[in-house]
Amino acid sequence: IAGITQAPTSQILAAGRRMTLRCTQDMRHNAMYWYRQDLGLGLRLIHYSNTAGTTGKGEVPDGYSVSRANTDDFPLTLASAVPSQTSVYFCASSLEVNNEQFFGPGTRLTVL
């Protein structure tokens, strides 16, 4: 692994289904983030984790949950997907507070 990876690359999901988006980084960054990108709205923060074992809510957390059991992994779970969660999801990480964030390649999720 080099940098930050996300899986799956894309997914079509039926409404009501549970889905976990995976994010892994090998840079030993302390902080990790989940954003969603929607046309005309830019990127909006869903959840964040400043260090392993801690998480916090961002601007648009409803319907999503995260965990940070270790430094490398930061999965995002949609407990019961709804069509409004159709979006491109980006995971990011940064070494320390206010350092530049490095982004994964994104996951394109469609909820029907």
Partner 1 sequence: AQKVTQAQTEISVVEKEDVTLDCVYETRDTTYYLFWYKQPPSGELVFLIRRNSFDEQNEISGRYSWNFQKSTSSFNFTITASQVVDSAVYFCALSDLANQAGTALIFGKGTTLSVSS
14 or 98: whose CB is closer to partner 1?
98
- Tokens standing for residue 1: 């692994």
Interface pick for partner 1 out of 56, 77, 82, 110 (rule CB under 8 A): 56
| Three-class SS state of 84 | helix
Min separation Cβ 88 and partner 1, Å: 7
Give dist(CA 35, CA 4) in Å, integer.
Answer: 14
Distance CA 9, CA 22 (A): 10
Q: Which of 11, 43, 73, 75 binds partner 1 (CB under 8 A)?
A: 43
The CA distance from 56 to 46, in Å, is 9
Positions in the binding site for partner 1 (CB under 8 A): 31, 33, 35, 40-45, 48, 50, 56-59, 88, 90, 92, 94, 97-103, 105-106
